[in-house]
Every structure is written in C-alpha cells, then in structure tokens.
Amino acid sequence: MKIMKYILFALLLLGLWITEPLWWKSNSNPSTLPVDVQILNEEEKPKTKVVSLEAKNEMELEIKFGPKPYGKYSTGVPSEVYEYWNKTLQYPDSLEEERCGPIRAGEKGWTTVCRYRTKNSAGTLELMQDTFIIKNGKASK
C-alpha cells in the first residue's frame, strides 16, 4: 500500500509537469527579455503593412468586380461557372472531370481557367478549356 502512494504521488507530479505550460497567462516564454519582444515587434511591422496593403487591394477589387467567387473544394469550380454551363451547354448533365485554376483578378473581372469534358453533337466526350470572367456574380467567356 505504501508503494501505491508513491506511485500515485509520482503520477501527480508527472501530470503537473506536463501541464505546466498551460498555466501561463500568455503564451510567451517567461525567459524572453523585453528587448527580444521589441525586436520581434519591429520585424512584424513590415509584414502587417504588406497584409494591410493586400487587404486594401482586394477591397478595391471587390468594389469594382463584386465579391470574389470561391470554387468548390474538390474541383475549384465557382458556382457562377456552373450556372453559366447550365444555361449555355446543350447537354449540361454530361459534364465530367471539371477543374478550374485559381481565381485571380483580371482587367475585366475575376478570371479562372477551367478544363472540362462535355458531350458534343456526336455524343462523344470532348475536352474543352475556357477562360471565364466573373463580374458581379455573372460568369462569361
């Protein structure tokens, strides 16, 4: 019974030692000096300027072209392109292996390049690649 007490006490100490980093109020290392913190803050200033500049540019583009469209996770195809295909393709249910590249800002709107297979008039699948321009929620070639 005496050994059990020592084992439980050792397990308690081990648990306290493992969870010790969770006790600190901030996630900073207590051994960092104020000089180190000042150097780190000065290094982060240019990064925040770049991030704020990118955010400002994206806001300007969203005002000009509408909100940036997002593609499906698995294929990268924006929903606006699916709507375009449903309206313009002769057999919209015959789409296969559709993939789109990243959505970037262009001169006329948000642009993406999509590769897809669709049935043609002979009933065979045809590989196509088009550049789509999305502006204010509407896709066009």
Can you tell me the distance from the alpha carbon of 39 to that of 75, in angstroms, rounded to the nearest whole number?
43
124 touches 130 (CB < 8 A): no
Supply the DSSP string of 77-128, one letter for each residue: -BHHHHHHHHHH-SSGGG-EEEEE---EE-SSSEEEEEEEEEE-TTSSEEEE
Q: Show the tokens assigned to 127.
A: 């590989």
Query: What's residue 61's pLDDT?
Result: 77
For 94-130, write each residue's pLDDT tens digit. Answer: 787 788 888 888 888 888 898 888 887 777 888 888 8
Nearest to 85 by CA among 17, 28, 134: 134
- Distance CA(31)–CA(21), nearest Å, equals 13
At 13-46, the pLDDT tens digits run 888 888 887 776 555 555 555 656 666 666 666 6
* CA–CA dist 47, 55 (Å, integer): 12
Is pLDDT at 78 greater than 80 in this prediction?
yes
Mean pLDDT of 36-57: 67
* pLDDT over 80 at 84, yes or no: yes
